[in-house]
């Protein structure tokens, strides 16, 4: 194999070396943390995906060593490849922060915000995106868009109102199945994911559209309204499957298997198998194998401790461990942005004082006693 | 009378037929190009001419041609963009309807320069009668040996095919056009790769506007240097302007880009003044997406200099006080027109034509339309104006293709120059339903009726 | 009705497909949909779309995606004559509003509706590239330009007469 050309690229003042042909987004993911732009439509395992949602826009302040001119517009980092000596601004660019807040507002404009009844809540990329990059409240005062309901069969639930048209499910059907039966119909603000004629999707790999969907537009009907993801314990498991890799994550409560998904990495994408292939799973594994006895359990799945799914899980029991590292250590040696030293403001936050030793704040008793 | 290079023969009886067109000197450029020149020298000649794309963006044509990749054994294609859909623009339709052979002639020369043996004309579906005209012209040219196999015995093969679109403005964007030509939804592609590298069926492709390709004919006939002498600065040659709105003589005019905007509007040779002796209020000089200008900034630049009908002069002052020549769709509004309503219809147009692929355009265009609808119907509030401004700002430059910009600019310019009219609508919700804001500060600065 | 091309239509279909290289027959989809719409009563039911898919050897969803994207394909039945009146900027400032109102009044239909006799459908459309000849509308393959109320009357009378003859 010939030696790979490496390009130096600097993103938010951090420099990495990546092979030529790498996109800005992939280079930023190599650095990790908040330097990596959010991506709602890009999916590294799906050819042709990306460029549509515009959440990953970044500013290229220096094109390359050879041609240092900045790029005139913000570019979609998922579809722009790095050049040697390129300098990119993500969260250090005011333009980017502003444009991204705009994109978040656009994406939420017609979103029903029905998170309390949405199965995706807790693992929804749109929730994360709006929390991290959006603004509270909306300036939209018109009726939100709704769609006619489409039935995609017994396994997959389509909620078109929640869809952000990332096209990932279309690419999935194109690339994983030999016959695509759903697609994007109509255009503009009425474009929708549908089958045109009522049709159940039942190709044996079509279930993966649920895993790639960044929002709650495509959800697992066999799990519908059964539980909240943060009440479940994710366990890595496998079985000898004739169709797929059989490597999955089980979502359990006690011994009961509530849901089966593919294993996802920290960017929410399907993990590769040890053979280096994307670990897509088949419908049988996903929808039909709901007994613990169907599976060989490997152990608890590690979940990012920032995720709501990690909440309520006790250290050591299901794979989340109480962090011992300092913030600087987990942040690759970078110190956090100090916005305000809250310890200055209140002794409640004095780390060396135990809460029980602090007088007040008032309790319900104080209030009731005063009233009496 | 200015120089006419394209429409010179438009009024010759029977010019639509090959026989008359040929008798009038047609197809000379094909003979010259195929027999006396080679592809490289044609591209050089086009570069020298300074010709800029006539579809709206104004990108130098010769440069675009020189970008086309030439990998061994891969066919290349020339595609003619006849998907003319920008409101206010109807010049290509005129060319194709009345001078079909001029386009075919330009296409043959350009196909030779680019090495395209299968050239496609993608025409908007609504121009349903024009493909018949073009196909007849193609058949005539073929019968005379100017198309088909071994053209004029030079060994060059070329066929031209006409494809009708299905009704979508977005297909005027070159990558959306290519997708549509491949039988897909007109979703613009994400660039790179550019069409010059991977276009139609992933082969190297050049997409040019009808008028651009027609202009190749005089460039070859007279030489690039001579062509460049016409016009001024980087606005060389002639430009077709389709004038419409509240003027006495709407229609398609060929100008040599040295005449002033004032002359174009008021002289009898062109628009013939404002209809009914009314006053000029505003004008959208280059197709609906370019910024609208109030009369005072249209006829003179912010510096008080005369404004001319060319690329540089119309964009003098940037978007703050200038506009663009764009596609040459010249829309004139008289004193009775309502800027809010006009902006609303344009916002509705862009919402209707958004492909829906990327989020700022899909969601933002509809939002702007709804707010404008509210203001127009007397239900707006002052904060709506600032909200509109903020929405257009967040669409512009953040979308996959220029449709986002095209939707944002008219709204931005309307607020920039006519904010008081928006405020008047909001402050006078009832009055604004029955009467008009009129001219107010934007009185026609020159032509005050006696 | 059976959604199958007759010999003439089939010959035209073959001519359309022949324009494209081997294996790129999908490129003919838009023109073939036009042909199908003209052949099958002015609109495209699912059966017609499926027929087009089978002719071009592509998946039905690829045809549905395209047919719903473009504005010229009617996916619901329409009247014999479809009045597609332009309402964009240049037509609006030249008085398209009053023409639209007049058509609504004369035919007693709203945009999107068809007259009871099945003759006329009114559709409001965006810019058709006839801005200098505004107000205007498209009826089938033809543009009717410089519209006035009198001209609208004459157009309706003309089509009524033509329909009676058939």
Q: What is the pLDDT of residue A34?
A: 87
> B251-255 and B239-245: which strand pairing?
antiparallel
pLDDT tens digits for range A305-337: 667 777 655 444 444 455 555 667 666 777 666
3-state secondary structure at position B389: helix
For the record, the structure tokens of A22 come out as: 């790498």
Chain B interface mutation, best of C67, C90, C91, C136, highest count of B Cβ atoms under 10 Å:
C90
Answer whether A99 sits within 8 Å of B394, measured CB to CB. Answer: yes
Taking the C-alpha atoms of residue A62 and residue A67, their distance in angstroms, rounded to an integer, is 8
Answer whether A185 sits within 8 Å of C46, measured CB to CB. Answer: no
Which of C24, C89, C126 is the closest to B331 by Cβ? C89
Residues of C in contact with B165 (CB under 8 A): 30, 70
Of residues B208, B199, B185, the one with CA closest to residue B111: B208
C21 to chain A, closest Cα gap in Å: 23
Give the ipTM of the model, two decimals please.
0.95
Q: What is the pLDDT of residue B84?
A: 94
One DSSP character per residue, B298-351 reads HHB-TTSPBPBSSHHHHTTTHHHH----TT-EEEEEETT--HHHHHHHHHHHHH
Q: What is the pLDDT of residue A255?
A: 85
Question: Higher-confidence residue: A32 or B204?
Answer: B204
3-state secondary structure at position A220: strand
Residues of B in contact with C66 (CB under 8 A): 166, 183-185
Of residues A225, A231, A301, the one with CA closest to residue A261: A301
Q: How many residues belong to chain B? A: 450
Q: Residue A372 above 80 pLDDT?
A: no
CB-based contact, A103 to chain B, within 8 Å: yes
Of residues A108, A34, A28, A111, the one with CA closest to residue A76: A28
| pLDDT less than 70: residues of chain B | 1, 440-450
Beta partners for A299? Answer: A236
Question: Higher-confidence residue: A198 or C44?
Answer: C44
Q: Are A177 and A190 in contact (CB under 8 A)?
A: no
In terms of C-beta density within 10 A (0-12 exposed, 13-18 middle, 19 or more buried), how is residue B4 classed? Answer: middle
Answer whether C30 sits within 8 Å of B163, measured CB to CB. Answer: yes
Answer whether A196 sits within 8 Å of C69, measured CB to CB. Answer: no
Of residues C133, C127, C93, C92, the one with CA closest to residue B335: C93
Of residues B373, B322, B320, B324, the one with CA closest to residue B346: B373
Q: What whole-number percentage of chain A has pLDDT above 90?
A: 65
pLDDT tens digits for range A96-137: 999 999 999 999 999 999 999 999 999 999 999 998 888 878
A197 pLDDT band (50/70/90 cuts)? confident
Residues of B in contact with A190 (CB under 8 A): 356
pLDDT tens digits for range A248-275: 999 998 889 999 999 999 899 999 999 9
Q: Residue A231 above 60 pLDDT?
A: yes
Q: Residue C82 above 80 pLDDT?
A: yes
**Strands, E, within B147-277: which ranges?**
159-164, 205-209, 231-232, 235-236, 239-245, 251-255
3-state secondary structure at position B288: coil
Q: Residue A237 above 50 pLDDT?
A: yes
A370 pLDDT band (50/70/90 cuts)? low
pLDDT tens digits for range C7-36: 999 999 999 999 999 999 999 999 999 999
SS3 content of chain C, % helix, strand, coil (to 5): 50, 10, 40
One DSSP character per residue, C3-68 reads ----HHHHHHHHHHHTTS-TT-GGGGHHHHHHHHHHHTTTS--HHHHHHHHHHHT--HHHHHHHHH
Residues of A in contact with B353 (CB under 8 A): 188
* SS (HEC) of A181-216: CCEEECCHHHCEEECCCCCCCCCCCCCHHHHHCCCC
The CB density around residue A11, as the number of other CB atoms within 10 Å, is 26
Chain B interface mutation, best of C44, C132, C147, highest count of B Cβ atoms under 10 Å:
C132
- Could you give phi then psi for residue A273, rounded to 5 degrees? -75, 165
Q: What is the pLDDT of residue C30?
A: 97
Taking the C-alpha atoms of residue C32 and residue C48, their distance in angstroms, rounded to an integer, is 11
Q: What is the pLDDT of residue B438?
A: 82
Q: Identify which of A128-137, A349-358, A359-368, C154-163 has the greatest average pLDDT.
A: C154-163
Query: Dihedral through CA C20, CA C22, CA C27, CA C29, nearest 10?
Result: 110
Q: What is the pLDDT of residue A254?
A: 83
CB-based contact, A190 to chain B, within 8 Å: yes
pLDDT tens digits for range C48-72: 999 999 999 999 999 999 999 999 9
Q: Residue A345 above 50 pLDDT?
A: no
Residues of C in contact with B77 (CB under 8 A): none
Taking the C-alpha atoms of residue C95 and residue C98, their distance in angstroms, rounded to an integer, is 6
């Amino acid at each position: 194999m010939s030696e790979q050309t490496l390009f130096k690229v600097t993103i938010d003042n951090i420099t990495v070396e990546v092979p030529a042909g790498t996109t800005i987004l992939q280079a930023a993911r190599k650095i990790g943390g908040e330097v990596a732009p959010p991506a709602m439509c890009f999916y590294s395992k799906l050819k042709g995906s990306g460029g549509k949602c515009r959440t990953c826009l970044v500013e290229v302040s220096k094109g390359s060593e050879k041609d240092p001119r900045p790029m005139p517009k913000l570019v979609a980092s998922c579809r722009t490849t790095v050049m040697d000596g390129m300098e990119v601004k993500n969260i250090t660019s005011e333009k980017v922060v502003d444009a991204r807040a705009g994109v978040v507002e656009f994406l939420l404009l017609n979103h029903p915000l029905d998170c309390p009844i949405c199965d995706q809540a807790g693992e929804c990329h749109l929730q994360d995106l709006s929390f991290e990059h959006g603004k509270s409240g909306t300036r939209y005062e018109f009726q939100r868009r709704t769609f006619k309901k489409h039935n995609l069969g017994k396994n997959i639930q389509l909620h078109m109102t929640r869809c952000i048209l990332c096209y990932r499910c279309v690419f999935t059907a194109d690339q994983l199945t030999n016959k695509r039966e759903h697609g994007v119909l109509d255009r503009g603000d009425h474009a929708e994911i549908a089958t045109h004629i009522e049709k159940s999707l039942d190709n044996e790999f079509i279930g993966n559209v649920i895993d790639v969907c960044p929002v709650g537009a495509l959800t697992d009907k066999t799990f519908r309204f059964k539980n909240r993801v943060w009440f479940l314990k994710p366990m890595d498991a496998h079985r000898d499957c004739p169709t797929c890799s059989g490597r999955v994550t089980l979502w359990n409560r006690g011994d009961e298997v509530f849901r089966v998904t593919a294993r996802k990495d920290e960017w929410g994408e399907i993990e590769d198998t040890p053979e280096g292939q994307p670990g897509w799973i088949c419908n049988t594994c996903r929808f039909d194998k709901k007994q613990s006895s169907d599976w060989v359990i490997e152990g608890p799945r590690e979940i990012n401790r920032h995720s709501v799914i990690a909440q309520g899980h006790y250290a050591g029991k299901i794979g989340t461990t109480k962090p011992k590292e300092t913030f600087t250590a987990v942040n690759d040696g970078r110190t956090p942005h100090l916005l305000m030293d809250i310890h200055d403001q209140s002794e409640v936050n004095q780390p060396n004082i135990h809460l029980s030793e602090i007088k007040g704040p008032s309790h319900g008793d104080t209030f009731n006693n005063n009233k009496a | 009378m200015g120089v006419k290079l394209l429409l010179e023969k438009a009024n010759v009886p029977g010019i639509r037929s090959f026989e008359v067109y040929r008798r009038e000197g047609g197809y000379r450029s094909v003979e010259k190009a195929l027999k006396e020149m080679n592809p490289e020298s044609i591209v050089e000649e086009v570069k020298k001419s300074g010709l800029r794309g006539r579809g709206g963006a104004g990108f130098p044509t010769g440069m675009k041609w020189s970008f086309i990749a030439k990998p061994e054994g891969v066919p290349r294609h020339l595609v003619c963009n006849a998907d003319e859909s920008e409101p206010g623009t109807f010049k290509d339709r005129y060319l194709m309807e009345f001078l079909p052979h001029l386009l075919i002639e330009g296409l043959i020369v350009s196909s030779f320069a680019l090495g395209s043996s299968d050239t496609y004309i993608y025409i908007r579906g609504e121009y349903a009668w024009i493909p018949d005209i073009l196909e007849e012209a193609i058949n005539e040219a073929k019968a005379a040996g100017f198309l088909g196999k071994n053209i004029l015995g030079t060994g060059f093969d070329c066929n031209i095919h006409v494809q009708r679109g299905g009704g979508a403005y977005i297909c005027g964007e070159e990558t959306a056009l290519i997708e549509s030509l491949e039988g897909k939804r007109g979703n613009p592609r994400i660039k790179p790769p550019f069409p010059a590298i991977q276009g139609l069926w992933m082969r190297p492709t050049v997409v040019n506007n009808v008028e651009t390709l027609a202009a190749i004919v005089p460039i070859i006939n007279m030489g690039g240097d001579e062509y460049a002498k016409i016009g001024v600065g980087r606005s060389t040659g002639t430009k077709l302007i389709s004038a419409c709105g509240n003027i006495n003589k709407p229609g398609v005019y060929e100008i040599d880009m040295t005449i002033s905007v004032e002359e174009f509007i008021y002289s009898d040779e062109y628009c013939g003044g404002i209809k009914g002796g009314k006053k000029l209020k505003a004008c959208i000089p280059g197709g609906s997406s370019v910024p609208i200008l109030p009369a005072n900034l249209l006829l003179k630049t912010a510096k008080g200099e005369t404004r001319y009908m060319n690329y540089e002069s119309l964009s003098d002052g940037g978007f703050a006080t200038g506009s663009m020549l764009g596609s040459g769709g010249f829309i004139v509004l008289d004193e009775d027109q309502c800027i809010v309503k006009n902006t609303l219809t344009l916002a509705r147009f862009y919402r209707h034509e958004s492909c829906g692929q990327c989020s700022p355009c899909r969601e933002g265009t509809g939002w702007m339309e709804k707010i404008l609808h509210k203001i127009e119907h007397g239900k707006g509030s002052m904060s709506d104006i600032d909200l509109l401004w903020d929405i257009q700002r967040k669409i512009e430059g953040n979308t996959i293709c220029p449709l986002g910009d095209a939707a944002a600019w008219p709204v931005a310019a309307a607020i920039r120059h006519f904010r008081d009219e928006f405020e008047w609508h909001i402050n006078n919700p009832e009055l604004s339903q029955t009467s008009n804001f009129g001219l107010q500060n934007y009185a026609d600065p020159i032509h005050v009726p006696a | 009705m059976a959604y199958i091309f007759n010999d003439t239509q089939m010959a035209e279909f073959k001519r359309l497909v022949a324009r494209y290289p081997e294996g790129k027959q999908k490129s003919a989809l838009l023109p073939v949909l036009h042909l199908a719409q003209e052949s099958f009563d002015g609109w495209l039911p699912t059966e017609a779309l499926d027929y087009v898919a089978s002719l071009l050897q592509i998946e039905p969803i690829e045809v549905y995606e395209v047919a719903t994207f473009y504005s010229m394909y009617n996916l619901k039945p329409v009247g014999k004559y479809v009045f597609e009146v332009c309402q964009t900027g240049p037509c609006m400032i030249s008085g398209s509003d009053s023409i639209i109102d007049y058509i609504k009044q004369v035919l007693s239909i709203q945009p999107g509706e068809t007259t009871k006799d099945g003759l006329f459908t009114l559709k409001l459309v965006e810019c058709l590239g006839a801005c200098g000849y505004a107000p205007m509308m498209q009826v089938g393959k033809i543009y009717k330009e410089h519209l006035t109320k009198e001209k609208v009357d004459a157009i309706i009378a003309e089509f009524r007469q033509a329909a009676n003859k058939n």
